[in-house]
Amino acid sequence: MLDMPEDLQLAPSSEREVTFLVPKFHLLVHIMACQSSFSFNYTHGVGRTDREAPEQGWDFLNPVAGQTKEMGPGTHHELLEDLMGDRNWKKTVGIGKTLLHHLKTAVPTCGEQIESHHDFEKRLGSKIVEPWRRDIEKWEADPTADNPFSAVVNTVSQNSICLELNCQEGLLLAKGKLKLFHEHVTSCVLISTGLDLEEQQRSLAHDTANLGMHTTDCQRLMLVQKANIIQNKVNVWIDHQKLYCPSASALHTGESNSLTDPIAAMPMINLWLPFSIGSRATCPKLLQEIEWQLQHAQANDALHDVCANLQIRVGVFQQKDCFKQGQRAMTRSCSILAWLQDKINKCTKRYRVARCALMALAPILNKAPQDWSNSICELRDGDIRPISVREMREMEGRRTISWIWLVDGVVATVGQSEVINDSVRLEWCKSRA
């Protein structure tokens, strides 16, 4: 740095302040803590920018890769210098036109955003907004303070619930208060394994349904092997289930007698988990309580996966429309989109199954609807949509977005004036930014 001309040297560390941020396109693949701490959208004093100009320059050079790989080092370097210099020159001479275009967009939009934000604050009320304003001003003055753009309330995952339940069982085992009917299988292991087997059966049913008209013997062999493995796991699991829930054995016996081809009917086999037993037979309440917690966590996980894949699909769509040309590139993009849609469909199915289980268990366990139905809502096909570019540009208080993006926190209910949905706080912070 000291060898650079004086006008290009940075000021001494005591006279400068450097803020490190991550360009928008690359920020999406970072963890949520990075997305809230290093975003250009949330940093004080930063206007509308994506800061991807260096990356766009390299993307502009991709078409010349076929030429440069045949060149020597000197010619290769000179060609890149010429192309980059040409692009930078065009950017410099066109800066006036670019700024004018952005200015024409920014002036009317700025007024609309300010008016909409004030309207949002009026509807929330100063009593609610003022603590949020103090928090965000404190964070702007000191970035080491608590970040107001980070969600305070996190949803519970299936892995965290399994960990908690197994820890509880470990304490009971140490005290000698837990009844074990199998040395390797506890109640929690039984139910969590059953949920995994249900997911494997749904995956097998999906693969079977997607077989084409001209399947090969190799494809059919893989499905049969997969079905045999699952069948063996199910048989072992049913033996364990009979130890903890003997009444389920009669249900399995009646079903197995009606199957002429167990392998072909594999995706349709009912494991008779506590939610599906219902009033058909008696089931220990402990198993029902464990399944309730695991199904609730599974619904949260599935909904999170739906949202994550929707956001990834938006990025693929934008990249395909802006940068992909030619049959090979378009075919590859379409294959990726089809793969993402398949993942979304699987996650949607998993969520709906978990919600049906919760609806069946709720009256049995006397669970009040307001305790769970506000965050585990009915997922319609129309709800499975991303936050589009148009919706992101609209005002946070008025834009119409799917409920799946607003379930991170605890929903405030009537009579809980002090409890405000954490997602509403995040929406206000983003609107202010």
Residue-range domain boundaries for the chain: 1-46, 52-93, 102-154+425-433, 158-407
Which distant-in-sequence residues (6+ apart) come within 8 Å of 305 by Cβ? Answer: 343, 347
The whole-model pTM stands at: 0.60
d(CA 407, CA 426): 12
Tokens of residue 407, six digits:
């379930």
Q: What are phi and psi of 276, to 5 degrees?
A: -85, -20
> SS3 letters for 46-76?
CCCCCCCHHHHHHHHHHHHHHHHCCCCHHHH
pLDDT tens for each residue of the chain, 433 residues long: 677 787 777 777 666 777 888 887 777 767 777 877 888 888 887 877 767 777 777 878 888 888 888 888 899 899 989 988 998 899 899 999 988 988 888 888 888 888 877 877 777 778 888 888 888 888 888 888 888 877 655 556 778 888 888 888 888 888 777 777 787 888 888 999 999 999 999 888 888 888 877 888 888 888 889 888 998 999 899 999 888 888 888 787 755 544 444 445 455 678 888 888 877 778 888 899 999 999 999 998 898 888 888 877 877 776 665 555 556 666 767 788 888 888 899 999 999 999 999 999 998 888 887 778 777 888 888 888 876 544 544 434 334 557 776 665 333 332 333 334 565 677 777 777 7
d(CA 170, CA 234): 26
